[in-house]
Amino acid sequence: DTWGETLVRESPIALVHKIATATSTNPEERYVDDEILSKWILPPSTGFLLVGPEGVGKLHAARRIARLFLGHCLEASSVSSGNGTPIRGLDSVLEVIAGDYTHDDQEVHPAKELIVNYIHGRKGLGSVITIHHIELLPTWILSDISQVLSGETDTLSYTTPEEELVEASCDGSVFIFTSKQWGTKSLFQHIQRNNGPNGMRRESLISSIRWEVDSHLDYWTKLAAHANIAPFFPFEIEDLSSILQNRVQTLNQKYQGLHWKRLEVSHATIKHAVGMDHVEYLDLYKQNDGSGEEDRSVVALLTFSTSGAHALDNNALWQTLRTRLVSGTRRRPWLTLKVDLDNNSKETVFRWCDRENGGVGDCEEEWRSVLT
């Protein structure tokens, strides 16, 4: 079976974990001995391309896929780039942020050197390389990787300034790419064309993304044609509300029994925090053409955050609310802290309640203010 098919079939996924353990660098964790391991045939390399706007979970998903393949490796990678910069890695997974590497006048591009050295250092145990913001890499590097994914070659290499060839076999390698620019135009076009994200045909969208990505490369480089495409849709207000609610629950669990018995933040408060006044949104429209001028209308299809979940990281209101919850209230581990929004004054109200479902009359108000 190939690496790509293991992601969509339950049985081969279990097999991958078994193979991973069999090829572990720790002899005590192996199912097979060194003699059998030396004859092990790794599957051809495969690639995944995750596309979508900023802050929609591409990096998180890439790391989850990486853990699926190499989560059994606990040791930190010791491979470094040519100039001694440590790898930004996840256990034994190589993580490359394309914007961190510039070519300048160096004879070998540091990102290419890093990738080849990492695969070579894995010594046939299989490897996972995540490359983020691939639009920032030179097209010739993507062309080299594309040839590997297509099966045209199974090696990547570079030549040192001393004319020494460094070559690595890419069999058993998984390349995971992310891009917030390439493919996003196709995503939004299909949302408009199909009157929203729910009416889209997956095959048509994937084909459009493949064409768009490869149009940025030279004629012979078909990177997207040889990669599994995963589109990520933009986040709407409801998505950000759900993310923020999860952060509140994490906060509740962390300080439960220390600061409060239970923390409850109302939906109105959360919706206010991710509303138009605190997060930047854009509208995507659909032009409806009727039989006459009076029948033409513009319909809003999607209101999405321009920076996705990153908007919460830079959200001053949420940061202020979190600080107030953690360090600005009295500690009453026997009471429930309820946080609500006064719809008239837009003030955030903190109340301590001795009964979980008690009304306002059963609670003591500690603090109220307009958060900024």
Degrees to nearest 5, angle at CA 234 with 228 and 235: 130
- Structure confidence at residue 105 as a pLDDT band (50, 70, 90): low
Query: For the whole model, what pTM was predicted?
Result: 0.79
Beta bridge partners of 148: none
Q: Which residue has the tokens 């989560």?
A: 71
Q: What is the pLDDT of residue 82?
A: 36
Using CB atoms within 10 Å of the CB of residue 13, give its burial: 0 to 12 exposed, 13 to 18 middle, 19+ buried: middle
Q: How far apart are CA 234 and CA 143, in angstroms?
A: 29
* CA distances from residue 115 to 47, 118, 141 in whole angstroms, order as listed: 14, 5, 10
Q: How far apart are CA 321 and CA 325, in angstroms?
A: 6
* Residues 6+ positions from 288 with CB-CB distance below 8 Å: 295, 296, 297, 298, 299
Degrees to nearest 5, angle at CA 229 with 225 and 233: 140
Q: How far apart are CA 71 and CA 50, in angstroms?
A: 20
- Structure confidence at residue 125 as a pLDDT band (50, 70, 90): confident
Contact predicate 94/77, CB 8 Å: yes
pLDDT at 298 over 80: no
What is the arithmetic mean of pLDDT over 43-71?
A: 87
Q: How far apart are CA 186 and CA 206, in angstroms?
A: 9
What is the arithmetic mean of pLDDT over 135-148?
A: 93
Rounded to the nearest angstrom, the gap between the alpha carbon of residue 330 and the centroid of all alpha carbons in its chain is 37
Q: What is the pLDDT of residue 102?
A: 72
127: amino acid identity, one letter: S
Strand-by-strand arrangement of the 348-353 sheet: 260-265, 332-341, 348-353, 363-369
End-to-end CA distance of the chain: 55
Q: Which residue has the tokens 């209308």?
A: 297
* CA distances from residue 107 to 141, 156, 165, 311, 332 in whole angstroms, order as listed: 14, 16, 13, 39, 63
Residue 30 tokens read as: 């192996």
Q: What is the mean pLDDT of the chain?
A: 81
What is the arithmetic mean of pLDDT over 167-173?
A: 91
Q: How far apart are CA 174 and CA 122, in angstroms?
A: 13
More confident residue, 188 or 40: 188
Q: How far apart are CA 57 and CA 172, in angstroms?
A: 25
Q: What is the pLDDT of residue 1?
A: 35
Q: What is the pLDDT of residue 122?
A: 83
Q: What is the three-state SS of 311-367? A: HHHCCHHHHHHHHHHHHCCCCEEEEEEEEEECCCCCCEEEEEECCCCCCHHHEEEEE
pLDDT at 11 over 50: no
- Structure confidence at residue 300 as a pLDDT band (50, 70, 90): confident
User: DSSP secondary-structure letter at 80?
Assistant: B
